[in-house]
Amino acid sequence: MSDVNRYIDMDAHAINSAEYRDACKTQLDTKGVLQLDGFLRPETLTQLIAEADDAHYGAYYTIAKHNVYLTKPNNDLPQNHIFNRQLSTSKGCICTDQVPEHSPLMTIYNSAAFQSFIAAIVGEDALYPYADPLSSVNVHYANDGQELNWHFDNSEFAITLLLQSPKAGGDFEYVKDLRDADAGDMNYDDVSAVVEGRSPVEKLHIDPGTLVLFRGRNSMHRVTPIVGDTQRILVVLAYNSEPNIALSETARQTFYGRLG
């Protein structure tokens, strides 16, 4: 059994199968989200939770103010305009260089089979890690009252693995294709309606061990506030479509509190 087979349930998720890849791609293209329940083997999940607990002391916690578009305010628009409305996001994070070298996370992330699987689903020829030592694999921690507020992603897709659910809250909510970034259509009215709770949203029920691929560039999303004393622990696996790309120094300082 190869290393990655030890960690991923290949019976349920035949990532090397062209037929399975095509089915996953169709689901992602149709729904904007791909949810693979039970992606991690139970013993792998147990190991990763233990690793995350051990590394938690080194997490960098931030409370960030941002608009839903993750851009600077526009002074030509009113302060209360949705483009300028400031929301609050708070979480802790450990970076790639804080994940144990022999962790299943690093084995999965660096696996040619896993990278080929993700590339096939998202329509890329190949995937590459970040050139900086911090941004490729992140483990996020959210405690009571913390949340990931409404926003659109700058990247085309996000890959996450949920390790631990809180007692309550921590729900992933989204609205598919709420804007068209390429066309410059920010859809202010409908975005405002969602943020103000005047519009219905979709919700994913995600159990620990689940892998999720999400196209968040045009689909607004959030994680609702955590309730209770059990942390929500989520892994983010980040790739680029070209080699030698690093997260900017400004972003690294903001998100991680350091450059390397």
Q: Say if residue 54's pLDDT is above 60.
A: yes
Enumerate the domain spans of the chain.
3-256
- Reported as a single tens digit per residue, the pLDDT across 31-47 is 999 999 999 999 999 99
Give the chain's mean pLDDT.
95
User: Rg of the Cα trace of the chain?
Assistant: 18
Question: Any idea how long the chain is?
Answer: 260
Q: State the Cα–Cα distance between residues 93 and 136, nearest whole angstrom.
A: 12
Q: State the Cα–Cα distance between residues 59 and 220, nearest whole angstrom.
A: 26
- Return the pLDDT at 134: 95
Q: Say if residue 1's pLDDT is above 60.
A: no
Q: State the Cα–Cα distance between residues 220 and 222, nearest whole angstrom.
A: 7
Mean pLDDT of 150-176: 95
User: Considering the domain 3-256 in this protein, what is its CATH number?
Assistant: 2.60.120.620
